[in-house]
Structure formats: C-alpha cells, structure tokens
C-alpha cells in the first residue's frame, strides 16, 4: 500500500482522598493509590489524558497505565510536573500521590519490570518545540510494545540522494490491545515527502508530515489487536522521488531499551563516500561517541547496537 501524506502546518464535587494505609496498617503503594483515585473519579485513562492536554501537559495513555499497574512510576522532572496535573484532574490534594513515590529507583540494568521508556512526544521534541504530529495520531500503544529487533536499510543512489528506506520491526505486546505501530521518519523540508509502502498483513493508517520540523509520522495498523506476550512483524518502506539534496546520515532516536538495532546503508558504486562513522549516545542531549566504519565489496556499511537504551544511534558519512 502506497500513501502520500498531507502536510501539517505546525506552528466539582467533593475531593476524593487516596488511602495512605492498607488494612494491615502498612504503607500504601503509589500505584494502588492512583488506581483508587482513578476509580473514585470515574474517568477513563483516555479522558484523563485529554484533560491533561487541555492543561498543556502531554502524557500518554500507556504511561498512565504503567503508573497505575506499578510497571514504572514518575521520577523525571517532567513526569513529576505531569503527576501534579494528574492530582488536579483527579481532585486530589496537592502532593497526595507524589508523597507516596518514595526515593528514586536505581538507574541502570533492570531486573524486574521493564522501564516504561520516554513518550514519542518527548523524544522528537527539539528545543522545546513540539512538531505537532501526535494530536492526529493514536500513540497510546507505543510504550506497551517491546522492541525485540529493528532493522533499517537505506539505499543511496549515484547522485548521493536517498531513494528508499526499508524497515523491519519485531515487536512484543506487554499488555492487551495494541493495534498499531508509529513509524517516524526524517523528511527534509527541501525535498518532497516520501511515499510509505506497508507490507501485508499490516496496512497504513494516518500519515502526518510536519514540514517545518522535517518529520513524517505514520500509523502502521496490525491486522488485529495483540494480546499480552504476542509478537508481530512490521515491515514498511519509504520511497523518495529522484530529486532532493545529498544525504549524509542515517540515524534514529531510541525512546526505550531494544535488544537489537541494526542500521545498514547501501551506496551506489558510482557514489562511494570518503569515510563512514557510527555514532551513539546514551541520551538524546549528550554528545555521541564515534568510530570508523569500512565499506565492503558491495559498497555497504552497517552498525548494530545490542541492548541499547534511550539515546541516539546512527551512521554518518562524508563525500569527496
């Protein structure tokens, strides 16, 4: 299925108090208190997210679900600001829920529940400017899908331009209901937006092009909703018209841990780069580390990251 995206121009009642002790008199966990507060307020997670957006706070339904199920909890400064807004929406006294968080959990390798990761709206926000992609897309399932394997292959033509980017994802559902994957692509403002082709049995949903931010996002719809523990293969290709400026990198931003992330670049033999480097950082804002890559006989380079967490990862090259 091929699709050319449309451009997007971006520019009460009595207060319910959460219990603070269980029946045995011990401490009451944050996730249990949050679930009780939500139940007493009678709001769905989608409705809570809508009311947060009305207050200028972006918080995914998946993150709210993880908070109330105890899979992760708010610890970052932005998450704590969102939690204060959640308390307001649920008509809780200020600090009633945040007081139950306790000290931050240790960072590093997790031995229990997986980290809930970083929402797409935060990963792709640059200099505080939201590209505006997420209001038209259903992103609530993104953080419920574990990335087991992701392979991307970029083909560069003899004029040094990107012609196609093939992607294959192996995903696993960590809860019931996930029915789509959100693909985010770089789309140079100076070039025509790519067409997106999806391999069956998946199909293409809404596609949004944030021209000013150079990003394109597409919903890849599964043939049916997944149940917890079920895996799915998602395969799609972006095709560019034979025009546009030369390309000099293939990169990605990781918003949660992934077992295997493989990047591959195939150059036309008539346009070989002078040098290629792989770059990687442990956070989106930290300077990446680099090392040299060598082309093989097929004029191809690749780089793989195993067990990579949030951050940046990619291949860049220089032309003669």
Asked, as a colleague might, if the bond just before 201 is cis with ω within 30 of 0, I would say yes
Residue 6's beta-bridge partner residues?
A: 208
Q: Which two tokens stand for residue 40?
A: 């007493």
Confidence of residue 128 (pLDDT cuts 50, 70, 90): low
Q: For residues 99 and 233, which has the higher predicted lDDT (pLDDT)?
A: 233
Average pLDDT, the chain: 82
Looking at residue 21, what is its pLDDT? 38
Whether the pLDDT of residue 203 is over 80: the answer is yes
Q: Which residue would you say has higher pLDDT here, 181 or 26?
A: 181
Q: For residue 109, which of 311, 308, 313 has the smallest C-alpha distance?
A: 308
pLDDT at residue 284, as a whole number: 62
- pTM, two decimals, is 0.65
243 pLDDT exceeds 90?
no
How many CB atoms are closer than 10 A to CB 289? Answer: 11
Residues of the chain above pLDDT 90, percent: 44
Phi-psi region of 17 (alpha: psi -120 to 50; beta: other; left: phi over 0): beta
**Burial degree of 272 (CB within 10 A; 0-12, 13-18, 19+):** middle
**Would you state the pLDDT for residue 27?**
34
Q: Model confidence at 8, in pLDDT bands (50, 70, 90)?
A: very low
Angstrom CA distances, 95 to 37, 74, 91, 165, 282, stand at: 13, 13, 11, 47, 32
Print burial letters for 290-305: b (CB count within 10 Å at least 16), e (below 16).
eeebebeeebebbbeb
Q: Would you list the domain boundaries of the chain?
A: 2-7+116-318
Residues 264-284 have a mean pLDDT of: 92
Question: What pLDDT sits at residue 126?
Answer: 63
Q: 2-7+116-318 is classed in which CATH architecture? A: Sandwich (2.60)
Given a cut of 50, is residue 268 above it in pLDDT? yes
Residue 127 has pLDDT above 70, yes or no: no
Q: Choose the most confident range, by mean pLDDT, from 22-31, 71-80, 226-235.
A: 226-235
Q: Which of 22-26, 80-84, 99-103, 115-119 has the lowest mean pLDDT?
A: 22-26
Question: Region 177-205: what's the mean pLDDT?
Answer: 89
pLDDT at 44 (0 to 100): 92
Please determine, for residue 314, whether its predicted confidence score (pLDDT) is greater than 90: yes
Across the range 192-204, mean pLDDT stands at 93
Residue 116 and residue 71 in contact, taking contact as beta carbons nearer than 8 Å: yes
Residue 316, pLDDT above cutoff 60 = yes
């Amino acid at each position: 299925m091929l699709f050319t995206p449309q451009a997007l121009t971006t520019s009460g009642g009595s207060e319910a108090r959460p219990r603070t002790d269980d029946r045995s008199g011990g401490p009451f966990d944050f996730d249990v208190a949050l679930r009780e507060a939500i139940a007493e307020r009678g709001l769905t997670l989608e409705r809570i997210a809508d009311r947060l957006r009305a207050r200028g706070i972006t918080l995914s339904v998946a993150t709210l679900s993880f908070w109330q199920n105890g899979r992760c909890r708010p610890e970052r400064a932005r998450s704590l600001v969102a939690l204060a807004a959640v308390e307001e929406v649920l008509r809780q006294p200020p600090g009633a829920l945040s007081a139950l968080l306790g000290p931050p959990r240790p960072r590093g390798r997790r031995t229990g529940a997986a980290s809930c990761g970083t929402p797409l709206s935060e990963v792709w926000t640059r200099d505080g400017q939201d590209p505006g992609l997420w209001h038209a897309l259903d992103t609530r399932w993104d953080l419920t899908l574990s990335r087991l394997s992701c392979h991307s292959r970029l083909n560069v033509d003899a004029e040094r331009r990107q012609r196609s980017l093939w992607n294959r994802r192996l995903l696993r559902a960590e809860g019931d209901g996930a029915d789509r994957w959100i693909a985010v692509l770089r789309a140079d403002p100076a070039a025509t937006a790519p067409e997106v082709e999806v391999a069956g049995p998946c199909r293409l949903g809404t596609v949004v092009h944030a021209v000013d931010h150079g990003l394109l996002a597409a919903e890849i719809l599964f043939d049916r909703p997944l149940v917890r523990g079920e895996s799915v293969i998602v395969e799609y290709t972006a095709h560019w018209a034979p025009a546009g400026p030369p390309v000099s990198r293939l990169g990605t931003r990781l918003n949660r841990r992934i077992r295997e992330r493989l990047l591959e670049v195939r150059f036309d033999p008539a346009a070989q780069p002078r040098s290629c480097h792989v770059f990687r950082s442990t956070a989106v804002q930290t300077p990446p580390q680099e090392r040299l890559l060598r082309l093989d006989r097929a004029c191809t380079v690749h780089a793989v990251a195993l067990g990579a967490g949030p951050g940046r990862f990619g291949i860049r090259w220089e032309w003669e």
